[in-house]
């Protein structure tokens, strides 16, 4: 187990393609850190540079106290689990899990009758090595619940079982760090849900530094001690799942993290008497007192209002200074909740997540109450800074 530290790491592919741009990141000992972002954001390239499968263009990577820039992957003392599991089809589960350890044996050449005859001391050491490997394999199989699969070959396993074998092959080595490259992407939705919980339990048990890459933000939020959100080779935010969700640093992070995604309304901040009001174009929303002082410098400037779907609900009777008049297009009952798709003349595709017992009619107008204590104000632009975090 060890810290993994990236300092000013850059990767440029031929043709001046910038894959990773001056990334610095400290992954703590025993931490489960998740790299997440859209396709092409640089997360897998970052992982592969840590593993040594990609050369870095500039910067420094440390595993523990050792700089590993020029160290071969096999000498970095890391274990990697790939998206396609990379199991040997002609080997049993037992041999797949033991293979890496068998390659590292010092006395394997004496593990035969001639070794017993000509070098009994080395023969005993060879036997001790095999017993140790057998113990490690069976211990990992017990942790993952695959003891009864050790005799099978990969083709006789389900997708979830193959994934467990791939993880088991990593566990037996007791590496300084685990690297996971979208290991659940080939599983169906129900199995992914179960395997997420298993990976979390596994990390608590083995307590090894883990770097996990995924494009699924829900997977990132449920697994990570910290989440790193990347785009265009840059780290846009690194924090706990709660911080990334409740305090997104910019509009990109706010829109990427969360299902359904955050609603964004462009408009202008205005002063009306003692109040600050966000003018959406057809609706005017009074700014909460918690944000008022921090937003004073932005009066009469264009801003973007971010509203999580769960911060919208059908308005109760009586006047309100924070409501949206919308036209409902689609109502999706989901059992424990209902998602309502609606829009204003200026903004289409507004999503509201409401109580399942609340009736909203499709194709009809509705009034949605906005919880102005839970909204976010962003500077204009796709990566506009979250001004609410400065309040």
Q: If pLDDT is split at 50, 70 and 90, which confidence band does 152 have?
A: very high
Task: Report the candidate in 354, 374, 352, 245 with the shortest Cα–Cα distance to residue 306.
Answer: 374
Q: If pLDDT is split at 50, 70 and 90, which confidence band does 154 have?
A: very high
Task: Report the candidate in 371, 378, 326, 368 with the shortest Cα–Cα distance to residue 348.
Answer: 326
SS3 content of the chain, % helix, strand, coil (to 5): 35, 30, 35
pLDDT at 317 over 90: no
List, for residues 80-133, the tens digit of each pLDDT value.
Answer: 888 777 888 999 999 999 888 888 777 666 666 655 565 777 667 777 888 888
Between 7 and 293, name the one with better pLDDT.
Answer: 7
Extended beta strands in the chain, E state: 4-13, 17-27, 32-36, 58-63, 66-67, 78-81, 177-181, 209-214, 226-231, 234-239, 263-272, 275-279, 284-286, 302-307, 312-314, 323-333, 338-343, 350-354, 365-370, 376-378
Q: Please state which of the ranges 123-132, 177-186, 368-377 shows the lowest mean pLDDT.
A: 123-132
pLDDT at 232 over 60: yes
CATH number, domain 4-246, options 2.40.50.140, 3.40.50.300, 3.40.50.970, 3.40.50.720: 3.40.50.300
Query: What pLDDT shows up at residue 142?
Result: 87
Query: What pLDDT shows up at residue 117?
Result: 65
C-alpha 147/C-alpha 251 separation (Å) is: 47
What is this structure's pTM?
0.88
Q: If pLDDT is split at 50, 70 and 90, which confidence band does 49 have?
A: very high
Answer whether 324's CB lies under 8 Å from 370's CB: yes
Q: If pLDDT is split at 50, 70 and 90, which confidence band does 347 have?
A: very high
List, for residues 188-209, the tens digit of each pLDDT value.
Answer: 777 788 888 888 888 888 889 9
Query: What's the distance, CA 1 to chain centroid?
Result: 21
C-alpha 352/C-alpha 262 separation (Å) is: 10
Q: Span 279-308, mean pLDDT?
A: 93
pLDDT at 40 over 60: yes
List, for residues 298-309, the tens digit of each pLDDT value.
Answer: 999 999 999 999
Length of the chain: 391
Q: If pLDDT is split at 50, 70 and 90, which confidence band does 5 have?
A: very high
- Return the CATH fold of 260-390: OB fold (Dihydrolipoamide Acetyltransferase, E2P) (2.40.50)
C-alpha 37/C-alpha 293 separation (Å) is: 33
Task: Report the candidate in 117, 89, 105, 97 with the shortest Cα–Cα distance to residue 172.
Answer: 97
Q: Span 385-390, mean pLDDT?
A: 86
Q: Where are the domains of the chain?
A: 4-246, 260-390
Query: What pLDDT shows up at residue 113?
Result: 64
Query: What pLDDT shows up at residue 85?
Result: 77
Task: Report the candidate in 291, 220, 261 with the shortest Cα–Cα distance to residue 37.
Answer: 220
Torsion sign, CA atoms 25, 33, 203, 89: negative
């Amino acid at each position: 187990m060890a810290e993994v530290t990236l300092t000013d790491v850059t990767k440029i592919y031929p043709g001046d393609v910038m894959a990773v741009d001056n990334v610095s990141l400290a992954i703590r000992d025993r931490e489960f850190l998740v790299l997440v972002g859209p396709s092409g954001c640089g997360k897998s390239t970052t992982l592969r540079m840590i593993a040594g499968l990609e050369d870095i263009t500039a910067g420094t990577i440390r595993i523990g106290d050792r700089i590993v820039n020029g160290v071969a992957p096999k000498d970095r003392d890391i274990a990697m689990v790939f998206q396609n599991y990379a199991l040997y089809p002609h080997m049993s589960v037992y041999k797949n899990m033991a293979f890496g350890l068998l390659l590292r044996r010092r006395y394997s050449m004496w593990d035969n009758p001639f070794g017993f005859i000509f070098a009994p001391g080395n023969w005993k050491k060879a036997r001790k090595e095999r017993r140790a490997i057998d113990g490690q394999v069976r211990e990992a199989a017990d942790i993952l619940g695959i003891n009864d699969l050790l005799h099978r070959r990969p083709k006789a396993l389900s997708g979830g079982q193959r994934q467990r074998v791939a993880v088991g092959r990593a566990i037996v080595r007791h590496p300084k760090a685990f690297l996971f490259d979208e290991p659940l992407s080939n599983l169906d939705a129900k199995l992914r849900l179960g395997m997420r919980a298993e990976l979390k339990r596994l990390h608590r048990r083995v307590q090894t530094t883990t770097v996990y890459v995924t494009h699924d933000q829900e997977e990132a939020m449920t697994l990570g001690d910290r989440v790193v959100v990347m785009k265009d080779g840059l780290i846009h935010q690194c924090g706990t799942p709660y911080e990334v969700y409740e305090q997104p640093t910019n509009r990109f992070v706010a829109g990427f993290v969360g299902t359904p995604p955050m609603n964004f309304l462009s408009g202008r901040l205005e002063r009306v008497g003692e109040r600050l009001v966000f003018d959406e174009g057809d609706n005017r929303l009074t700014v909460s007192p918690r944000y008022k002082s921090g937003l004073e410098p932005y009066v009469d400037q264009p801003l973007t209002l971010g509203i999580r779907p769960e911060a919208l609900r059908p308005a109760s009777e009586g006047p309100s200074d924070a409501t949206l008049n919308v036209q409902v297009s689609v109502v999706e009952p989901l059992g424990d909740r209902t998602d309502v798709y609606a829009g204003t003349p200026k903004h289409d595709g507004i999503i509201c997540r409401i109580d399942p017992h609340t009736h909203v009619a499709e194709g009809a107008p509705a009034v949605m109450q906005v919880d102005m204590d839970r909204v976010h104000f962003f500077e204009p632009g796709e990566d506009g800074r979250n001004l609410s975090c400065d309040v």
